[in-house]
Amino acid sequence: MRLFENLLIGELFALALVFARIGSALMVLPLFGEQIIPARARVLFALAVTMTITPFLAPSLPPLPSTMGALVILVVGEILIGVFLALLVRILFTALEVAGTAIVFQIGLSSATIFNPMISEQTSAVATFLGLIALVIMMQTDMHHLMLRGIVDSYGLFRPGEGISVGDASESIVRVVSQAFRIGIQMTGPFFVVMMMINVALGLLSRLMPQLQVFFLAQPIQIIFGFILLIITLTSIMYLFVDTVGVALQRMLTLGVP
């Protein structure tokens, strides 16, 4: 009877330890951790994933700590690792927010905001549009499978109980933030060039025809050309973003961090 109780406690400890990392990661990861998905559904999905992979990870898990303090430290460390890994991927998705915000400022629609179901906040219409397209593409290309595999493979790099280096984590976050900002600006490069050409043309037109009210023409011209350019470059924008995220996830599978 005593042996059965020890085995049961050991199984429950393994499930709880794996759930701490998997559950915290799924609460933050894009697609899985969107605010529009009910919290109960996310928790149930995290439990299902945990119960599936725990038998394979059980040999690499540490034994049950003898004190409550050590147990709390171990579980909190697993939660921080899960949040850290998912946050790296989430930060990459801010490139779409940077691109959408830059685009609406260039075409003169900075005040046009709509409700973003992914973060439950008001964001620019273009940023919300790009974010929804990115989620659909991720589902179609099975990139969400790479996310799950990256979190599972993280046990080979961040072993339970060993913790995570604060310096390395800070360096990884800074690198991913700079990468997301760079990609966001690259996606809006054509808009900067075209809108600058339109402004130069309108400036020359105002010099040639001083009686013409250029400011009344600038706004509709910027909006029309902005939407035409968005339609033309949408495929390239999404390809650049998906390729960047895919490369980052592949590096996560081999190195643990993008």
- The encoded tokens of residue 87 equal 């946050």
Q: What is the dihedral of CA 245, 247, 251, 254, to 10 degrees?
A: 120
pLDDT at 180: 87
Instruction: Report the candidate in 23, 170, 146, 158 with the shortest Cα–Cα distance to residue 83.
Output: 23
* Amino acid in position 85: L
- The encoded tokens of residue 78 equal 């697993």
Mean pLDDT for 29-57 is: 84
Instruction: Report the candidate in 182, 150, 204, 156 with the shortest Cα–Cα distance to residue 25.
Output: 150
Confidence of residue 189 (pLDDT cuts 50, 70, 90): confident
Is the confidence at residue 2, as pLDDT, over 70? no
Instruction: Report the candidate in 72, 52, 37, 85 with the shortest Cα–Cα distance to residue 249.
Output: 85
Confidence of residue 137 (pLDDT cuts 50, 70, 90): confident
Is the confidence at residue 119, as pLDDT, over 80? no
Confidence of residue 239 (pLDDT cuts 50, 70, 90): confident
Mean pLDDT for 244-257 is: 67
Distance CA 233, CA 106 (A): 15
CB of 23 within 8 A of CB of 43? yes
Which has the minimum average pLDDT: 76-85, 163-172, 229-238? 163-172
pLDDT at 124: 75
Is the confidence at residue 106, as pLDDT, over 60? yes
pTM as predicted:
0.79
pLDDT at 238: 87
Residue ranges per structural domain of the chain: 2-255
Distance CA 53, CA 30 (A): 21
